[in-house]
Amino acid sequence: MKRILIVTGQSGSGKSSALQVLEDLGYYCIDNLPLALLPEIVEKLDRENNLELLALGVDVRSTRADLQEFDQVFQQLQSHGTVDIIYLTTRDQELIARFSASRRPHPLSARFKSLNECIQEEKNLLLPIQMRATVHIDTTDKSVHDLKHVLLSKLGQADNLIVILQSFGFKHGIPLDADYVFDVRHLPNPHWDLELRQYSGLDVPVQKFLESTPQASEMFQDIYGFLEKWLPAFAEGHRHYMTVSIGCTGGQHRSVYIVDRLKKALEAKWSVQVLHREMKHWS
């Protein structure tokens, strides 16, 4: 067996959807087996089926003792191939909204009175797995289509580094899956110009406005210089992806402008993908 993916994360964050995406990509998927049984199952599959790609769904329904012994299970799985852990997370309020909309009980609801208590305890139980995760995905604002796009990007091809540039608005929350976050809220804000408010950082009027300010160019050069220096080191370390998030207040003007400039500067050397997280909020 060449590649094993462990897919886990908070209940309601999209684990089942992620496994469906992986199945479409050719992975043999197994969900909700007790954690302690995984090495035995994987060994049998490896011996009898000669699988190239395997995805294992793990959640909090495994026993507490099994979850605490995750390191031992992980080491056993490594004897059968390269093991990566995909950890899905979602902001608490979004999880509460999802459970309320679906009217499905949380897996820990029999032990705790409130949904918030279930969510906090689940985080604690999954911490040993989260600490080993190689891929973190925040699904708070992602559709199933978005999740598929991110999975394709973050799993990468061979040892090629994919740079994911993401703009966002701090008022909507910091992305939980970012490797680096840069704050550009100190730049002049086109939002306060009524003629510019309707545009985004992809539009010429906003670009001209920001290009006329020395702060915007200096900030771009500093971020670009950092990435130009350190991306080769990450690539040499066999990283498949690097998520760089640029944030302003609303995620429509300044962060989008900086992301667009970075894309144009980096795409000659790197495989670059862009996500404007707040596009649905743009006026």
Asked if the model's pLDDT at residue 283 lies above 90, the reply is: no
Asked if the model's pLDDT at residue 177 lies above 90, the reply is: no
Annotated binding residue 169: no
Residue 141 shares a structural domain with residue 171: no
CATH of the domain at 9: 3.40.50.300
Annotated binding residue 73: no
Asked if the model's pLDDT at residue 170 lies above 70, the reply is: yes
Annotated binding residue 24: no
Annotated binding residue 60: yes
Residue 189 shares a structural domain with residue 132: no
Alpha-carbon span 22 to 38, nearest angstrom: 18
Residue 63 shares a structural domain with residue 37: yes
Residue 60 shares a structural domain with residue 179: no
Annotated binding residue 217: no
The pLDDT score that the predictor gives to residue 3 is: 85
Question: Around 110, how many Cα atoms within 13 Å sit in the side-chain half-sphere?
Answer: 2
Contacts of 179 (CB under 8 A, 6+ apart): 242, 243, 244
Q: What is the mean pLDDT of residues 241-256?
A: 95
Annotated binding residue 68: no
pLDDT tens-digit readout, 61-113:
877 788 888 889 999 998 888 899 999 999 999 999 998 888 888 888 888 88
Structural domain boundaries, residue 206: 162-281
φ, ψ of residue 271 in degrees (nearest 5): -80, 115
Whole-model pTM over 0.85: no
Q: What is the mean pLDDT of residues 123-135?
A: 90
Asked if the model's pLDDT at residue 49 lies above 80, the reply is: no
**Both structure tokens of 238:** 């066999």
- Average pLDDT value for the chain: 89
Q: How many domains does the chain have?
A: 2
Cβ neighbours, 10 Å, residue 36: 16
Annotated binding residue 111: no
Asked if the model's pLDDT at residue 173 lies above 70, the reply is: yes
Residue 16 shares a structural domain with residue 140: yes
Annotated binding residue 16: yes
Alpha-carbon span 56 to 218, nearest angstrom: 46
Tell me the pLDDT band of 156, cut-offs 50, 70 and 90: low
Annotated binding residue 13: yes
Q: Last residue of a domain, which of 126, 155, 184?
A: 155
